[in-house]
Amino acid sequence: MRRRAGLGRRTLEPVEFNFAPMVDVVLILVIFFMLAANLNRPDRAFAVDLPQASTAQAIPQAPLVIALSRNGQVALNGQVVSPAALEGELRKALKNPNRAVLLEADKAATHGRVVSLINLVRLAGGTRLEIATLP
């Protein structure tokens, strides 16, 4: 039996990949992770790990919130503030001396930094200072 040349052989055509669906999926994943990363509390500039206290109480009105991170960063109402600008911002925010100030200091923050923030609040005219803890 004779075979004809080329009957059993196929010529290989170059394979082309369509990358458009893969690019779509990658972009959707990027958008998802960007949105998921921004779902932290919008009123917080950074995470603060509060200590616990058995006598903790809820605050009836919205106070001025000062957050102190473990590495010394300070935020005023969710906005990171430089130490130099903090006193001026506190003076503006504490035009009403009866406004409550809530200090959210990370439990790993240094004692000296917490005391200096308390002094800044007093110098700015704050009379009601509360320290946040977990119940």
Domain definitions of the chain by residue range: 64-131
Percent of the chain exceeding pLDDT 70 equals 84
The pLDDT of residue 40 is: 57
The per-residue pLDDT for range 52-82, each reduced to its tens digit, is 887 876 655 578 899 999 898 999 988 899 8
Buried b (16+ CB within 10 A) or exposed e, 68-78: bbbeebbbbbe
Tell me: pLDDT of 2 over 70: no
The pLDDT of residue 42 is: 56
Q: Name the CATH topology of 64-131.
A: Nucleotidyltransferase; domain 5 (3.30.420)
Average pLDDT, the chain: 82
The pLDDT of residue 5 is: 57
